[in-house]
Structure 1
Amino acid sequence: MVLSSAQHKLPTGVEHHGNGLRIWFMWQGKRWREPYPYVPTKANIQAAGRLRAKVINLIKLDAFDEQHYLSLFPNTTQIEIHDAVITFANAAQGYLDDLTVSPAVRNEYRKILQSRWMPLLADRAISSITFPELRQMTRDHQWPSNKTRNNCLTPLRRVFEWAVDGELIDSNPAAKLKNLKHQKLPVDPFTREEVAKILGYMHSEFTGMKRIYFHYFELAFNTGMRTSELLALEWDDIDFKSGYALVDKAKVRGVVRNTTKTANFRHVSLNENSIRTICALRELTGTHHSRLLFLAPQTMEPVTSYKAPLKVWKNVLKEQGIRYRRPYNTRHTYASLAFMKAIPIGLIAKQLGHSVTTLAKDYATWMKTEEDKRHLSNINLPSFGGLTIHAGSSIALPSLK
């Protein structure tokens, strides 16, 4: 159905033009107008708005040039057609446009490219950039840590990989920029006593709808689910009969994605505490008929971001005098307690959605059960000189002169 201007509000930068539409935008200090030769149906108006938004985004990135103009408006009469040079900015935008990752990951790569590499390489022809100069740029920059350096190199390499795949260049000049080793901080779980203080305080102090946060964190401690997975959890995902929760979604920046962080669904076993707190939550919020488990107490709308629970979390830890660790450490706590109970590593990995290899690497410190300690205590060397060392005792070493 063809819509008139009175029937449908046009997006910014889209206007009626004859029997079709026209897009306008500001570039190089001038207003540019290009016809969008389709009848103004609702779908075509939305498509014109998306095209205009893409142009504006390229302009904001300082990546819009004649080549982009010609590719987006091939019938234009305002730009002369000539052999365009593919710049790093063009390749970076092309790489971002083709990415099939979560919005959060794409945005992180975009910010790295924009802040770290665009100031150095934006206008350079992609084919002219060499490994020696990239190596020198990397050496000259004062990186706050090896991890930051490695993170910044990831999207840089992938821009050149994109250019190689598109046959714009023959080889990737960033491929030889190797990651540097960095010390990964060990997991920092809460102790049983700290968990009891946190949940005990929430249970006694949180009343009314604020009690939703108690159920949220109790479920986090008892299942090891990621924050994004908890926020996306729906009532249809809970199988009370079998005692499992289906985890196949994640909510990131308020958007539910039909995939988890690792792109693998899993069934999380619910212990008695988990079942009890979910049932109490349903009794508390059931009249609001939401698909999602967790609602914001103030609005009774689904929680859209980790920020609201985070604020509550910080206040509770401060009130209880507990050293701050982020809410994600509820997951580390679940894993470490499972290891201390000698639960098989394969079962823990299945519950958390990790590979066994990743789990063993990240939680190696906690893979020490009381049984392990008893086995190792049998490795005792003979005692000489009548010296007996008791567990927990200290030894006075001779002073060096």
Structure 2
Amino acid sequence: MAMDVLRDAKALERAGRSIIHLELGEPGVAAPRRVREAAAESLRDGSIGYGEALGDAPLRARIARHYGERYGVDVTPDRVIVTTGSSGGFLLAFLAAFDPGARIAVTAPGYPAYANILSALGLEPVLLDVGEETRFAPTAAMLEAAHRARKLHGALFMSPANPTGAMIARDELARICAFCDEAEIILVSDEIYHGLEYEMRAETALRFSQRALVINSFSKYYAMTGWRLGWLVAPAELMRPLERLQQSLAICAPTLSQRAALAAFDAGDELEANRAAYARNRALLLDRLPKLGLDNFAPPDGAFYIYADISRFTDDSIGFCRRMLHEAGVATTPGLDFDPRRGAKTLRLSYAGPEADVREGVARLEAWLRR
């Protein structure tokens, strides 16, 4: 639905309307300068052919090194596969790890593409409702209860999460990993928003489990959405199946993007400046939204989202967001995109854009809500 909102917003802009975009989870900045320079150098070199299915060796080695530098976790390059964004990583992981009919636990609210991809592959998404009682994060006890009710084959969790921004606490993540290992549930940990944390540090599932499949991307923290590049860290026994799937489905991740991404790990100053800008936008929304009556939202620990309860205004989030777009010129995403059972009373706002846009968006919302 976020993409549908974007389509409608773009149509209004083409008609001459001024629209503030708070709907998309996309950094409002360009890829780091070092990345763009590395890409330009590769283009001047002119040799942009097929690469290895598992990814370019220098990039795989640098990703592996990243786990030691950031988390103090030892990962060897032979466990890393470079993918066409995190989306490509999910396809490879699901196909390699699960047989048709497997039941995979996912959270609601949660990233809608999870259930869509699982269903398209003949897998069954099992929705675990998370809310205020667990700070909108899954727990080991919740997972265990679902498994006892009917056997689970996998679990797919994101921390920090989309749409809520909520994070799984370190100790709880350890318990989840331990239960999954004990119950032979394959855990897929989506860590795409790592690096975008504000009050506590995100932890990788690889600290607690060597059986977990960990997916990350250059899209969010590294601001490289359109470069379509991510990675997957997997157990050794899955690497050959993953390689064969990659050979068949994509041949390789984009060569130009891989060469450029190698420079992203040396762009820390620019990337941290971006994170500081998101933090300012976050602080602005945390201050202003409660004054507009949007005072009940998930804990925005990380990422760049506010997932707000709008039940005092409506029980139709789709219609509410449509009216907001057409009447106030502010694009947001209805909660039904993320939670088919309870999302009619919620919406997601993204604060990944420029600070001036976020300020203007809040001003327009205030005027619209107080009409």
TM-score normalised over the length of structure 2: 0.24
Higher RCO, Cα 8 Å, sep 6+: 2
Higher-Rg structure is: 1
TM-score normalised over the length of structure 1: 0.22
